[in-house]
Structure 1
């Protein structure tokens, strides 16, 4: 299974008392989302299932990809890595999955899948982690295929 974890691009400052789910991308965030969408467009397998947090900044991040996607409450801020991994059906999904969400949850997913000590890895705004599961000698292993940042594409 291929799993792509995409953290939303740079968003507006949350401000005081504003609706966190309504925050929009900054102009720089929009540019980064377009860059990463171009990179993903070259690397996502046909038929990839695309799931997106209901937060506006995540929707704005995934839209430049130009592919159909579904909103998933399990990707909203504050959800657990267990919820995300159950949603994407790791490691047994039959198709590749792209999940667009938030830190620290995405970093916690990465840490869990790579068996990193500590509770999370840092996932930069706008970046993508591409992970693959494979079976060898009856054991499941997670392989990092790529970590891509909008600054480097």
Structure 2
């Protein structure tokens, strides 16, 4: 199974204080973020199989990132800010899912999920804004393995 984790592109700074939680979901991409999303989407569109499921956090910045790809997607609250790696992996049906899954979400959740799958400490796997981590589950001699297929950053595409 392929699990593709895409962190939303650069977004506007959020408000501080009491308004922070309620309007965090409303933050939009910056002009730079829109360019990051477009570059990564162009690369992903060439790589992703047609049958890939695309699941997106309800945050505006994540949906804007998904829109750059130009494919059908579903908004899933389980990918919102503060989600746990367990929620992410359950939603993706890792590692038993039949089709590739692209999840568009947030830090630190994506980094924590990657760290868990690769046996790293949670804090050891930051994910840059707009970057993609492509992981694959495989069975080798009866042992489940997670393989890093590629890591891409929009700045190098």
TM interval, shorter chain, is over 0.9
CA distance in 2, matches of 1:118, 1:73: 22
TM normalised by structure 2 equals: 0.95
Alpha-carbon offset, residue 120 of structure 1: 4.9
Structure 1 position 149, deviation (Å): 0.3
TM-align CA RMSD = 0.9
CA contact (8 A) 2:55 2:102 kept: yes
Q: Is the 8 A contact 1:22 1:56 kept in 2?
A: yes
Unaligned runs of 5+ in 2: none
1:50–1:69 CA contact under 8 A, matched in 2: yes
* Corresponding position: 1:58 with 2:62: yes
TM-score of the superposition, structure 1-length normalised? 0.97
Counterpart-to-counterpart distance in 1, 2:124 and 2:77: 21
Which deviates the most, 15-24 or 46-55?
Answer: 15-24
Deviations 1:38-83 (A, max 9, x none): 0100111120000000000000001011100000011000010000
Aligned length: 153
The equivalent residue for 2:97 is 93
> 8 Å contact 2:116–2:122 — kept in the other structure?
no
Choose the corresponding residue for 2:87, options 83, 89, 93. Answer: 83
Question: Is 1:7 paired with 2:11?
Answer: no
Q: Which residue pairs with 1:47 in the alignment?
A: 51
Task: Write the distance in 1 (CA, Å) between the matches of 2:128 and 2:116.
Answer: 17
Give the secondary structure class of the aligned counterpart of 1:68: coil
Task: Tell me what 1:23 maps to.
Answer: 27
Which deviates the most, 110-119 or 32-41? 110-119
Runs of 5+ consecutive residues of structure 1 not aligned to the other structure: none
